[in-house]
Amino acid sequence: MQVVVVGAGIVGCSVAYECAKAGAKVTLLEAGRVAGATSSISFAWTNATTKFPRAYYDLNVAGMRAHLELRRDFGTTPWFTQTGSVEWRNRAEDQPAYLENFRQMKEWGYGIEWISRETLARMEPEVNIAGIGEGPISYFPEEGWVDPALYCAWLLRAAKERWGAEVLEFSRVTVIESEGGKVRRVRLADGRNFAADAVVNCTGGWADASLGDAQGIPLESTIGVLGFTSPVALTLRSQLHADDLDIRPDGAGRIMIHKISVDATMKGPEPLATDSPQAAELLRSAREVLPALEAVELEALRSTVRPYPADGFTCAGAMPGLEGHYMAVTHSGVTISPYLGRAVADEVVRGEWHADLDAFRPDRFFQNPSPVAQMSEA
Ligand SMILES: Cc1cc2nc3c(=O)[nH]c(=O)nc-3n(C[C@H](O)[C@H](O)[C@H](O)COP(=O)(O)OP(=O)(O)OC[C@H]3O[C@@H](n4cnc5c(N)ncnc54)[C@H](O)[C@@H]3O)c2cc1C
């Protein structure tokens, strides 16, 4: 079976790896560089906390497990760090939702516990404990983060060396051609074409584009911004989540900073200077949590599209109207990808249906009412 995967972000690389492993002849076509788009500008936190409804939580938990299971394939997973997360809310008005999330996560069996200020001070002595409000502090030992570019590199190397997958960068797909209502071939902007029994669309924030006979899905993407400090001598190991601020180590002493209210200032994925108001706000917020950042500036800011299918949930499954055209697009893509890749390979290559994806099928965008919207209301 010839499977063409379009897009080599973390989703496409996972799908290509798993389809090749399942026995398909795989060609992965990427318009730019492997992991050159959203996947390399991601906070990349593996988690299922606050992921509602239950089916979406379960999908994220399956992704977290699949990250651990990849160790069996590789013996080592140098792209994955599992040092846990710490979270708190400073504002009194945010406490009810924070406490309710703790209760629900605990009931669903998620790794979550309260820790004291003394414990946090021992774990992470550089955190400004006095700056944390009155509310309780939660700890998530099973959470971690991924270096998506490394992840993609390792999976694609294995897909090529073990199963002969072909990976072509700078190869933009413009048309998916069909015959008799079935996918037949994929044509590139430069005129090359590739025969296909199945095409898996993993184009993330570009998945709303029609490619010849293949339609896209509606997206409501947003913009995300990350700040990176210059190297700083800190021993910080955990991820820190305080209100809408996220902080974590990013290797070689650099600290990565993300803040949702900074994302909200963006109209598009524009270049941002290290002396922009967004940089100042990221640093100001992070310094309140880590006073050692007082002497440090941002080395870089990066912004990109966060790919959200129009209802905010993962979209995975056969597209209506064109046999052999499959969609795999999601936010939380770093968390979900290793599981999504496996599930797509089961469905496309092995012909094994994944009932846990039923709430996330693309046809919900082409019918009314959407099953996942009904679940959210329940
Ligand atoms: C700031 C920020 C923070 C985030 N934090 C988290 C987090 O903490 N945890 C988490 O799980 N997720 C997080 N996400 C979301 C996560 O990063 C994404 O869900 C994930 O990276 C999407 O991967 P992808 O492979 O679908 O997209 P991409 O990495 O964008 O890959 C899609 C690829 O398709 C290619 N392409 C597009 N059109 C074509 C075409 N016609 N032909 C060939 N190639 C094409 C593009 O060039 C691109 O390389 C975050 C995102 C951002 C921006």
| Model confidence at 28: pLDDT above 90 | yes
The pick from 39, 202, 228 for probing ligand 1's pocket by mutation, whose C-beta has the most ligand atoms within 8 angstroms, reads 39
- Of all protein residues, the one whose alpha carbon is nearest to atom 1 of ligand 1 is 224
| Model confidence at 283: pLDDT above 60 | yes
Cβ atoms < 10 Å from Cβ of 136 = 17
105 shares its domain with 45: no
Whether residue 79 lies inside any domain: the answer is: no
113 shares its domain with 253: yes
In tens, the pLDDT along 333-358 reads 999 999 999 999 999 999 999 999 99
239 shares its domain with 194: no
Distance CA 200, CA 198 (A): 7
Name the residue type at position 311: D
Sorting pLDDT into bands at 50, 70 and 90, what band is 264? Answer: very high
Q: What is the pLDDT of residue 367?
A: 82
| Model confidence at 102: pLDDT above 90 | yes
Residue 255, domain extent: 85-141+222-306
Q: Cβ < 6 Å from ligand 1: which residues?
A: 6-12, 29-32, 36-39, 41-45, 172-173, 202-206, 224, 226, 258, 304, 306-307, 329-335
Which atom of ligand 1 is nearest to 13's Cα?
Answer: 25
DSSP state of 34: T
CA 162 to chain CA centroid, nearest Å: 26
267 shares its domain with 335: no
Q: How many domains does the chain have?
A: 2
357 torsion bin: left (phi>0), alpha (psi -120 to 50), beta (else): alpha
Q: Which two tokens stand for residue 1?
A: 């079976």
Length of the chain: 378
From the list 33, 304, 326, the residue with the least C-alpha distance to 156 is 33
From the list 52, 50, 42, the residue with the least C-alpha distance to 112 is 50
Whether 285 and 259 have beta carbons less than 8 Å apart is answered as: yes
Whether 221 and 305 have beta carbons less than 8 Å apart is answered as: yes
Name the residue type at position 187: R
228 shares its domain with 216: no
Whether residue 43 lies inside any domain: the answer is: yes
Mean pLDDT value across residues 244-259: 97
| Residue 144 phi, psi dihedral angles, 5° rounding | -160, -165
Listed residues 306, 321, 338: the one ending a domain = 306
Which atom of ligand 1 is nearest to 188's Cα?
Answer: 42
| Residue 54 phi, psi dihedral angles, 5° rounding | -55, -40
45-46 and 80-81 beta bridge pairing: unpaired
Q: CA-CA distances (angstroms) from residue 378 to 314, 371, 372, 374? A: 18, 11, 10, 6
Sorting pLDDT into bands at 50, 70 and 90, what band is 22? Answer: very high
Distance CA 322, CA 183 (A): 7
In tens, the pLDDT along 33-83 reads 999 999 999 999 999 999 999 999 999 999 999 999 999 999 999 999 999
- Of all protein residues, the one whose alpha carbon is nearest to atom 51 of ligand 1 is 42
Q: What is the pLDDT of residue 374?
A: 64
Q: CA-CA distances (angstroms) from residue 42 to 85, 272, 299, 332? A: 16, 16, 17, 10
| Helix spans in 4-113 (H) | 10-21, 54-74, 95-107
Distance CA 272, CA 259 (A): 15
Whether residue 242 lies inside any domain: the answer is: yes
**pTM (global) more than 0.85:** yes
109 shares its domain with 247: yes
133 shares its domain with 262: yes
Q: What is the CATH number of the domain that holds 53?
A: 3.50.50.60
132 shares its domain with 20: no
In tens, the pLDDT along 180-212 reads 999 999 999 999 999 999 999 999 999 999 999
- Of all protein residues, the one whose alpha carbon is nearest to atom 21 of ligand 1 is 39
| Model confidence at 369: pLDDT above 60 | no
Listed residues 250, 283, 306: the one ending a domain = 306
Least confident segment among 223-227, 236-240, 323-327, 363-367: 363-367
Q: What is the pLDDT of residue 376?
A: 58
Distance CA 351, CA 327 (A): 16
Q: What is the CATH number of the domain that holds 137?
A: 3.30.9.10
Find the farthest-apart pair of alpha carbons in the chain and give their distance in angstroms, rounded: 67
25-29 and 166-168 beta bridge pairing: parallel
Question: What integer best gives the mean pLDDT of the chain?
Answer: 96
Q: Which residues of 76-97 are buried (b: 16+ CB within 10 A; e: fewer)?
A: ebebbbeebbbbbbeeeeebee
Cα(304) to ligand 1 centroid in Å equals: 9
Whether 11 and 330 have beta carbons less than 8 Å apart is answered as: yes
301 shares its domain with 152: no
370 shares its domain with 273: no
DSSP state of 326: E
The pick from 81, 306, 335 for probing ligand 1's pocket by mutation, whose C-beta has the most ligand atoms within 8 angstroms, reads 306
Whether 9 and 38 have beta carbons less than 8 Å apart is answered as: yes
256 shares its domain with 154: no
Mean pLDDT value across residues 129-145: 96
Whether residue 320 lies inside any domain: the answer is: yes
Mean pLDDT value across residues 7-27: 99
Q: What is the pLDDT of residue 371?
A: 60
Whether residue 70 lies inside any domain: the answer is: no
Cα(95) to ligand 1 centroid in Å equals: 32
Percent of the chain with pLDDT over 90: 96
Listed residues 306, 341, 360: the one ending a domain = 306
Which atom of ligand 1 is nearest to 148's Cα?
Answer: 21
240 shares its domain with 362: no
**Beta-bridge partners for 255:** 249
